[in-house]
Amino acid sequence: ETGVTQTPRHLVMGMTNKKSLKCEQHLGHNAMYWYKQSAKKPLELMFVYSLEERVENNSVPSRFSPECPNSSHLFLHLHTLQPEDSALYLCASSQTLTSPSPLHFGNGTRLTVT
């Protein structure tokens, strides 16, 4: 069983809806990440948090809004999404922000925007 849990596993939403993705890590890590995985494209880093502070915001549209209330939880709030936002959203955590600390991923949320 993964130490990083994401809910929901699947989400279908209309372009006018507001929804949130949740991520929880049980590994005692200090850093958490959101990645987007679209078909036939490499994983795209969206946001990075270290000790609840955002340290990276990779030119992500404002319709994606992250929240990190504590070092174990990470949210991605979604509103007025576009069909091209349909993708697998992966949450990850790592012990620190530097090598050799690998990322530990959750199972992802498969998002479909209709």
Partner 1 sequence: AQKITQTQPGMFVQEKEAVTLDCTYDTSDPSYGLFWYKQPSSGEMIFLIYQGSYDQQNATEGRYSLNFQKARKSANLVISASQLGDSAMYFCAMREGRSSASKIIFGSGTRLSIRP
Q: CA-to-CA distance for 48 and 5, rounded, in angstroms?
A: 17
Q: CA-to-CA distance for 72 and 24, rounded, in angstroms?
A: 6
Q: CA-to-CA distance for 31 and 40, rounded, in angstroms?
A: 27
Judged by DSSP in three states, 87 sits in strand
The residue among 16 and 39 lying less far from partner 1, judged by its C-beta, is 39
**Should residue 43 be labelled a site residue for partner 1 when binding is judged by CB under 8 A?**
yes
The minimum distance between CB 80 and partner 1, in angstroms, equals 26
The residue among 2 and 18 lying less far from partner 1, judged by its C-beta, is 2
Binding partner 1 (rule: CB under 8 A), the pick from 66, 105, 111, 113 is 105
Binding partner 1 (rule: CB under 8 A), the pick from 42, 62, 83, 84 is 42
Binding partner 1 (rule: CB under 8 A), the pick from 30, 52, 79, 88 is 88
CA atoms within 13 A on the CB side of 93: 25
